[in-house]
Amino acid sequence: MPQRAALAALACALLIGTTACAVADEPGGEPRSAPPAETADGSTAEPTAEPIFASDEEALAAAVEAYEAYSAASNRVANAGGEGSGGIARLVSPEFDEVVQEEFAALRDSGLRMSGDAIHFAPVLDSHEERNRVATVTVTFCRDVSGTRLLRPDGSDATPADRDLIQATNVVLTSVERDSATLIVSSARRVQDESNCQ
C-alpha cells in the first residue's frame, strides 16, 4: 500500500474511530439480539422479566458511559503508538476486539502515534432492544478529531490534510454476560447522515 494511502487509512481508523471509515449502507444496521424464549409447547414468547433499563433515556446514558470509556482507552493507546491495547478487551466484544487489535498493530508497525484526543458529542439513540436479559443499544455519535495529529517517530506531522474533522459514527453496544446493565462496544461504523453534527 502506498505510504499516503497507509497514512490515510491509519488516520481514518485511529483519529476518527476504529472501523469508522467503512460507511454503513443504512445508519444503525441490524442490531444483534438474543433469540426469543421458547415455551413448553414449542412456541415463542417474549420474556416477562423486569427490564434491564427502565427507559430509553437510561439505556442511552449507559451507552454513552460505555462508549466514553472505550473512547478514552482508545485515545490513550493511540497516543502511545498502539502500545497497551490489551486493556481495551474488557470494553468491547471479542469480535470487535479483533478489529481494534489489528488497527493498533498497524499503528505500532508504522511507528506512528496520535497526539491529542478525539472527542464525541451529540449522542442520538437509534434503537434500544431487550431480549432474554440481553440489551442491544444503538447510538449515533458525532466525533471531532480537530484536536488530534498523526506524528512520525521524529515528531514530524503525518496527518492527511484532507481528513474530515467531524463525522457521524454509529455504535452498537450490547450487554455483557455477567451483568445485563453493563454495556460493551460491539461495532462502530461511519454513517452518511451527519446532519446532527453540524
What is the residue range of 146's domain?
3-22+51-197
Coil, strand, or helix at residue 184? strand
Query: Domain for residue 28, yes or no?
Result: no
Query: Domain for residue 33, yes or no?
Result: no
The DSSP annotation for 86-132 comes to GGGGGGB-HHHHHHHHHHHHHHHHHT-EEES--EEEEEEEEEEEEET
Query: Domain for residue 184, yes or no?
Result: yes
Residues of the chain with pLDDT under 50: 1-2, 15-16, 18-20, 22-39, 47
Per-residue pLDDT at 30: 42
Per-residue pLDDT at 18: 47
Query: Domain for residue 87, yes or no?
Result: yes
Q: How many domains, in total, are found in the chain?
A: 1
Q: Are 177 and 157 in contact (CB under 8 A)?
A: no
Query: Domain for residue 84, yes or no?
Result: yes
Query: Domain for residue 183, yes or no?
Result: yes
Per-residue pLDDT at 152: 94
- Give bridge partners of residue 23 from the DSSP assignment: 190
Query: Domain for residue 88, yes or no?
Result: yes
Per-residue pLDDT at 101: 93
- Domain containing residue 78: CATH number: 3.10.450
Report d(CA 78, CA 103) in Å as an integer. Answer: 10
pLDDT digits (tens, 9 = 90+) for 27-60: 444 433 344 444 455 555 554 579 999 999 999 9
Per-residue pLDDT at 27: 41
Q: What is the dihedral of CA 29, 31, 35, 36, to 10 degrees?
A: -100
